[in-house]
Amino acid sequence: MSDKITPKEWRRYVVQQMHSKGFSTNERNVVSAAFNSDLNDAERGESSSFFGSVTPGISENELKTIMDELRNPNSVTNKGAKLNLSDNKLNKLEAILHEALIENK
């Protein structure tokens, strides 16, 4: 079981859940952009797969960091988004991401 949300899980589960929970196309794009570097880049020191290569994806720490930035109206991530998500949407997003991380959807 992976301890990250992989790009495949993002496409198959997270995007679909955001759509079903009422996120607009623009909101989904903002969220995808906020997590893009963590989804596609594997940093050294992160969990290695069976063959020793580092798997790209969103770890629990990365999820917390980006969610904190999205909640902070003065953060670079939030200012760059040009679309502030409501507290309700941020709570829904966090629930979706935690479910994806825990359940490995």
pLDDT tens for 62-90 read 999 999 999 998 888 777 767 788 999 99
Query: Within its chain, how far is the Cα of 45 from the centroid?
Result: 19
Question: Could you read off the pLDDT of 9-60 as tens digits, one per residue?
Answer: 999 999 999 999 999 999 999 999 999 988 877 554 454 555 566 678 899 9
Answer whether 13's CB lies under 8 Å from 102's CB: no
What total of structural domains would you count in the chain?
1
Distance CA 28, CA 46 (A): 26
The pLDDT of residue 77: 79
Find the DSSP H helices in the chain. 7-9, 15-20, 25-40, 60-71, 76-81, 87-103
CA distances from 93 to 5, 47, 53, 85 (A): 13, 24, 29, 10
Per-residue model confidence (pLDDT) at position 1: 45
